[in-house]
Amino acid sequence: MGKWSSSPSDLEKGPHNKGRPSLPPPNVCPPTPKPWFPWLVPLIFVANIAMFVYSMYLNDCPSHTGEDRCLFYHDLRRFSFQPFHENPLLGPSTTALKELGALDWKLVVEDGEGWRLLSCMWLHAGVFHLLANMVSLLFIGIRLEQEFGFFRIGVLYVLSGFGGSLLSTMNLNPSRPIISVGASGALFGLLGAMLSELITNWTIYANKCAALFSLVIVIVLNLAFGLLPNVDNSAHIGGFIAGFLLGFILLMRPQYGYVNPQHIPSGYDVKRKPRHTIYQYVLWIFAFLALLFGYAYCLLKLFNGEARKKYSFVEHQ
């Protein structure tokens, strides 16, 4: 029986091993990214609560309306609510909200107070309005901030709220004393961004159809809420559209199978996928151009005095 030598020199000299054996492919497993610590969304929550408390302090129902007409005067004193027939949401008067920066067509368009397009998203018409929005903010916002960080979610929140305010102002009736307040435009922007994030990062999700179906149901139910009286659905729609487009821009993630070079051991030549797919770049460009066009179109149309439509009382977003 012949002998077989396992020494490296014999292996290199053998007829079937003319070169050094190639290294086995590495088991590349990038570390799971750590979630961001959510501090911005809780800060937004506190800011909205603080603004509502201050609006009630400024409102001072007993001094302006009369102690006997204010709701819960004996318990809340200066912070008591306006009469129910004036504000059924348990909150301040429209005068107090307007003074603090509520959205008013005349003040924004004719008096040039464009800052109200941003200030109105920090005000709320009443306790019920505030409670509904803040629960949604914590439920949606904290998870998004943990995944994408405070900067991207902060930009998304503010620009979505701005988009909601633009469409809301265009639909306010300048001939009637109507104002609009609330964070719902920004919150619908977060919902819209969740949808576009699912679409643009489609390759990394399991159970894609189930996730898409669940999200669409949540969005439809929330938009249906806007059909109720005194609810500013135009702000919801404007915020949702802005957030949907911003999601393609701000929340794009590497495609499934992408490996960062820093996670590949030295000495290995591994064929890597590109960081993003072609369709992700196409969606990014389309969303960026559409967002710029939408903002420019609304601002030009608004300040040309073409925004005219209907609504009544306080349009709470």
Instruction: Answer for the pair 38, 142: CB distance below 8 angstroms, yes or no.
Output: yes
Q: Is 184 a catalytic residue?
A: yes
Instruction: Answer for the pair 150, 43: CB distance below 8 angstroms, yes or no.
Output: no
Catalytic annotation, pick one of 93, 180, 184, 234: 184
Pairwise CA distance, residues 24 & 7, whole Å: 20
Catalytic annotation, pick one of 124, 129, 236, 316: 236
Known catalytic residues? 184, 236
